[in-house]
Structure 1
Amino acid sequence: MTELVLLRPWWLAALPFLLALALWQWRRGPAAGGWERVMPPAMFAAMRALGHLQASAHSRGRAALAAAALLCLGLCGPAVPRADAPLLAGSGAILIALDMSPSVAESPALADAQAAAAAVLAAAEGRPVGLLLYAGEAYEVAAPTSDPATLESQIAVLARDIMPGNGSRPASALALARRMLQASPDADLVLISDGGGVDDATRAEAGRLAGDGVRLSVLALAGAAGGTSDSAALGTLGSVAAPARAPEPVLRRLSRGGALNPDPALANLTFRDLGPLLAALAGIPLLGLFRRRA
């Protein structure tokens, strides 16, 4: 079935007011130029039966309300996806923050981390991708680039002795990511970690990223040395989280190319707006307002 979307749904808020106005008009009854307030009911009914009093104002009010309702429905922008819509690459950068603490680097989880990072590169679909590594401290490996081939070789050579220190401080990684993405609107950060070191400082940095408009996704590693992935701690950081061995939810989010904040100027390229056609129907009840009367 064809998917129907509303491009400007806030216009629907006007419909309850129009409905209230229609109910008030219905309860008020047909007007007759004020004669209904001064004439006895029996005389008023007789004069109306003889055709001397017309309820044209009431019918004109109904026509105006019907036209206003059609205009509101048209302005809310009912639309269907265009079959010939162009495929646009997202403009926001993607940054991969890879946990290289000893619990990951010295365990089979490292291979899962490399595979997950490679999957993120494949899902970028033209978006710039950058890379940072962290253990006790965070280090920028590559600023976001539109050539992911340069990152593929760097991810492939990751090893246990590549980081200069021990420990695990994801808070430092999120702080560095926030600085790297300051100039990139509509950006995504993908944290690949076993959950070690997640604390209040990490959650505070995640809140700052969200405040800057950066979407944080998490890929949780299992089988890390010294224990399993702390998925509960990782789940408190990002709005989307998934196991590193099943990253499809995160990859789907990235491949939408920033669809959570769509550019209104591109709506006409993606959807066929039926609003103008629906708004044009408002002319039918309005035509009755221009009818000449004797």
Structure 2
Amino acid sequence: MVAISDIVLMRPWWLLALAALLALTFLALRRARGLGAWENAIDPALLLAMERFGRVVPGKARRILPPVGVAAVLIVALSGPATRIANPETFRNLDGLVVAIDLSRSIVEGGSLDDAQFAVQSVLENSVGRPVALIVYAGEAYVASAFTTDAAALSPMIAVLGDDIVPNPGSRTDRALALAARMFAEADILSGDVVVVTDGDQLTPQAFNTARDLASAGIHVDAFFVEPSAANGDLPVPDEAELRRLTELGDGGFSPATAPASLAASIGARAASTLAQGETAALFFRDYGRYLLVLALPFALLLFRRAT
């Protein structure tokens, strides 16, 4: 695949055929101006006499141009000139997104719940049609929404999250990751992202193991770090370093929840980029090769002209 400005050639190797076409055209033009092998097979005096009586008509180079024109247009069309589709349709079983938001005391009472909600909303806005599921967790993890392609429908749910949603005290990110892994398996979704929105508190070895397992299965673990803004002595201490390590093991990205735009856009673009490199690439580009075939019609019509 080769990019030329906004145009992408999906099958650029076909352009090599243009070189072969030029070579064949050059040889054909040289032979078209004469009589080819007949000049060596017929006595020169007889050939000259036949030319005087109009029995021999030398070839004309312009007769070669129509088939050459058809071949040239076909080669360019087969090279697959295309443009990338801005928001391509994705696939339910190839590309999923699970957002897990921490609703423990350190988030809800720490004064940064609005930052967490903002980060989740940014991810939803960049989901570009991917199946999205929502998990809420504290001491236990619960499915707030199964996979849906209508990410906008989750926005009202995000807006009403609070301290009365999850009754279990604690911050068990490991259980949220395990639940996300189970959701991917049950939905037969082969790849995607798990986005954790948390302060990194109480990350257990099970969380790191699950992140590693998800990454090996083609599912990235990303995280938005929520830093409490209110001072409260009895709240757990956030752990940014451990949360970064979780994303490194999960082959994902890391970002503060106060500035989620860059990571959210990266998560949204990752699926299309990955699928566009495989056999499904044609579904992520608008191929104009078929329309170029119209340019071959005038040359093709000249092939049917009446010759004398």
TM-score by length of 2: 0.59
Please state how far the C-alpha of 1:148 moved relative to its aligned partner.
2.2
* 2:295 match: 281
**CA distance 1:148–1:220, shift in 2 (3 Å):** closer
2:215·2:221 contact (CA, 8 Å) conserved in 1? no
Q: Distance in 2 between matches of 1:109 and 1:178?
A: 29
Q: Deviations over 1:180-237 (max 9, x none)?
A: 543x699664332456456354222123244xxxxx4724305472532443541553
Q: How does 1:1-294 map to 2 (within 5 A)?
A: 4-5=6-7, 9-26=9-26, 30-31=30-31, 32-35=35-38, 52=56, 54-56=58-60, 60-74=63-77, 78=81, 94-99=97-102, 112-121=115-124, 129-134=132-137, 138-144=141-147, 146=150, 147-148=153-154, 151-152=157-158, 155-157=161-163, 162-163=168-169, 168=174, 171-179=177-185, 181-182=187-188, 189-194=194-199, 196-197=203-204, 199-210=208-219, 216=220, 218-221=222-225, 223=227, 225-229=237-241, 230-231=243-244, 233-235=246-248, 237=250, 241-252=254-265, 275=289, 278-294=292-308
- Where structure 2 has 5 or more consecutive residues not aligned to the other structure, the ranges are 229-236
Structure 1 gaps of 5+ residues are 211-215
Q: Output the CA distance in 2 between the equivalents of 1:277 and 1:88.
A: 21
In the TM superposition, what is the alpha-carbon distance from 1:80 to its structure 2 partner? Answer: 7.3
Identity score, percent: 25
Number of residue-to-residue matches in the alignment: 274
Deviations 1:124-157 (A, max 9, x none): 6887643224568644333245532662366233
Following superposition, the deviation at residue 72 of structure 1 comes to: 3.8
The structure with the largest alpha-carbon Rg is 2
Q: Distance in 2 between matches of 1:179 and 1:138?
A: 17
Q: CA deviation at 1:248?
A: 1.4
Once residues 307 and 196 of structure 2 are traced to their aligned partners in structure 1, the CA distance between those partners, rounded to angstroms, is: 73
**How far apart, in 2, do the equivalents of 1:227 and 1:135 lie?**
16
Q: Is the 1:171–1:201 Cα contact (8 Å) retained in structure 2? A: yes
Instruction: Check whether the contact 1:133–1:141 (CA below 8 A) recurs between aligned residues.
Output: yes
Which residue of the partner structure matches residue 232 of structure 2?
Answer: none
- Secondary structure of 1:132's partner? strand
**Superposition CA RMSD, Å:** 5.3
Q: For residues 290 and 124 of structure 2, what CA distance do their matches in structure 1 show?
A: 41
What is the CA-CA distance between 1:23 and the residue it aligns to? 1.9
The C-alpha deviation readout for 1:10-36, integer Å capped at 9, x for no partner, is: 454322123223224425763344336
Distance 2:304 2:73 in 1: 18
